[in-house]
Amino acid sequence: MKRRTFLKNTLPIVLPALVNGFSLKAWARSSFLPAAARGIGEDRILVLIQLSGGNDGLNTVIPLEYYGAYQSARANIAIPEAKILRLEGVDQTGLHPAMPELQQLFGEGKLAILQGVSYPQPNFSHFRATDIWLTGSDAGQVLPTGWAGRYLNASYPHFPQDYPNASMPDPLAIQIGGLVSPVLQGPVLTMGMAISNPTSFYDMLNDRPAAASNTRAGDQLAYIREMSIKTDQYAGVIKKAAQRVTKQSDLYPAAGKNPLADQLKIVARLIAGGLRTRFYLVSMGGFDTHAKQTDTTDTTTGAHARLLARLSEAIHAFQDDLEQLKVDDRVVAMTFSEFGRRIQSNASGGTDHGAAAPVFVFGSTVQGGMIGSNPVWPEKLTVNENIALQHDFRAIYNSLLEKWFLADSSEAESILLKEYPLLPIIRG
C-alpha cells in the first residue's frame, strides 16, 4: 500500500495521535463553568495512584488494638506484632513493616489514612469494581463518564475546539502508562492524554524516534509518528516543561527498579516544569494476592511486602522531589484500589476479594492523621466476612473537589451526581 493511500484510508478513523510512543487523546465540551474555570484554585493538582488488583488493607494498615483477633483470623499471613510499624500519636494502629517511608510521612503530618473506604453493596469483580471507582457510580448504576472527566468537562467549556489557548495552554489531564483511563472520560471524548510509558517520555526529550519494525507497516507507523510530532499541539509544551527541570530527588531508585517511582518522577518533572495540568494518573498492579501473599518462613516478606515497599518508596521520593522543586503546596495525591480483601486468609496463604480498605491521601497541604477507626469483626468469623464500610469513596472525591479544587457544593454534587459528606483531608 502506498503511503498516500494508507493515510487516506486510516486518518479518517478516530485514532490516538502517536508521539514517539505517546498515546494522545483529546477532550470534550462542557455545560457550565465552576470554580476552577473562574481562576479559583486552578493551579492545584491531584495525582491519582491506582493499585490494581485489590490491595489487602488489613495487612497494610494493621489493627494493633485488636491484634489477637487479627492474628487468629489470618494466622498464616499475619504480621508479627513486634514488627508492625507504630504511628506517631496513634497507639491502636500500625503499618506493614515494608512501609517505613509512609510511617515517616505520617509522623510529619503529611499523610492521612482513611479507614474502611468502600460503597454500599460492593462488587467483587475486578472489572466492575474498578469501573465503579473510576466513574463514581453506585453499585447498580453504569455511568459512561469518569468523575474526573466530568469535572474537567465542566471546568473547561468548548473543549477541544477552543483549546489550547492563552488561559489553558496545557493538557487537562495526563496518564502515565497504557490507554487513557475511564476516570478521565468526558461526555463526548476523553479529557486526558496518555504517555504510553516512561521510556517513550525520555525518547521524546532526547529526540529519539520510537523503534519501528522493519516492515511496510512499521514504516507507515514511523511516518505517522513523525507527522504527529510536527502537528500535535501538546507534545511541544510537554517537552518544554520537562526540559526546564534538570535536577530531581536522589531518593528515586534507579530507572526500571520501581515502575511506580519512574511514573511519579515524570509527574513531578512536568509539574515543576510549569504544566498547569490538573490531574495525573499513575498505576501499579499485582495486588490480586489470592495465594502466596507472604513468604511462609517470614510473613513480613513476600509478594505483598514487595508491592508495599515499592509504593512506600515511590511516594516518599515523589513527595521529597515536590518539596525540593518547591511545588509541593500545589499537589495532593491519593491511592485507591478497586476493593480490599476478606478478613480471613485462605488456605493458599493469600486473601480473597473483599470490600472496604484504607486509602492514603498525602501532600504538604494534607491534614495528616487517622480518619476512622480500626475495623471490628465478630468473634465467629466466616470465610465471607468483610471489613465494614466507614467512608464512601465518593466522600473523598467530594472533599477534594470542594476543599482542594474549591468547587462549591452544588458544583461538586453535579459532578458526583449526589451529595456526599466532607472529610477532614485538606488543612484549613
The predicted structure's pLDDT at residue 159: 78
3-state secondary structure at position 360: strand
Residue type, 184: L
- Domain boundaries along the sequence of the chain: 19-208+233-416
Grid-cell match 494466622, residue found: 75
The reported pTM is 0.88
For the 19-208+233-416 domain, the top CATH level (class) is alpha beta
Q: What is the pLDDT of residues 8-62, one digit of tens each?
A: 332 222 223 332 333 333 333 333 344 434 454 679 999 999 999 999 999 999 9
- The arithmetic mean of pLDDT across residues 245-249, rounded, is 97
The predicted structure's pLDDT at residue 38: 44
> Distances in Å between the alpha carbon of 141 and those of 120, 128, 401?
12, 10, 22
The predicted structure's pLDDT at residue 42: 78
Cα angle 127-187-29, degrees, rounded to a multiple of 5: 145
The alpha helices in 232-362, defined as continuous H runs, are 235-243, 259-272, 303-324
> Distances in Å between the alpha carbon of 103 and those of 50, 85, 116, 139, 255?
20, 7, 19, 33, 24
Q: What is the pLDDT of residues 325-383, one digit of tens each?
A: 999 999 999 999 999 999 999 999 999 999 999 999 999 999 999 999 999 998 889 99
Q: Which three cell numbers stand for residue 145?
A: 463518564
Q: How far apart are CA 329 and CA 41, in angstroms?
A: 12
Q: How far apart are CA 18 and CA 10, in angstroms?
A: 14
Q: How far apart are CA 181 and CA 336, in angstroms?
A: 14
Burial label for 207, CB within 10 Å (0-12, 13-18, 19+), is: exposed
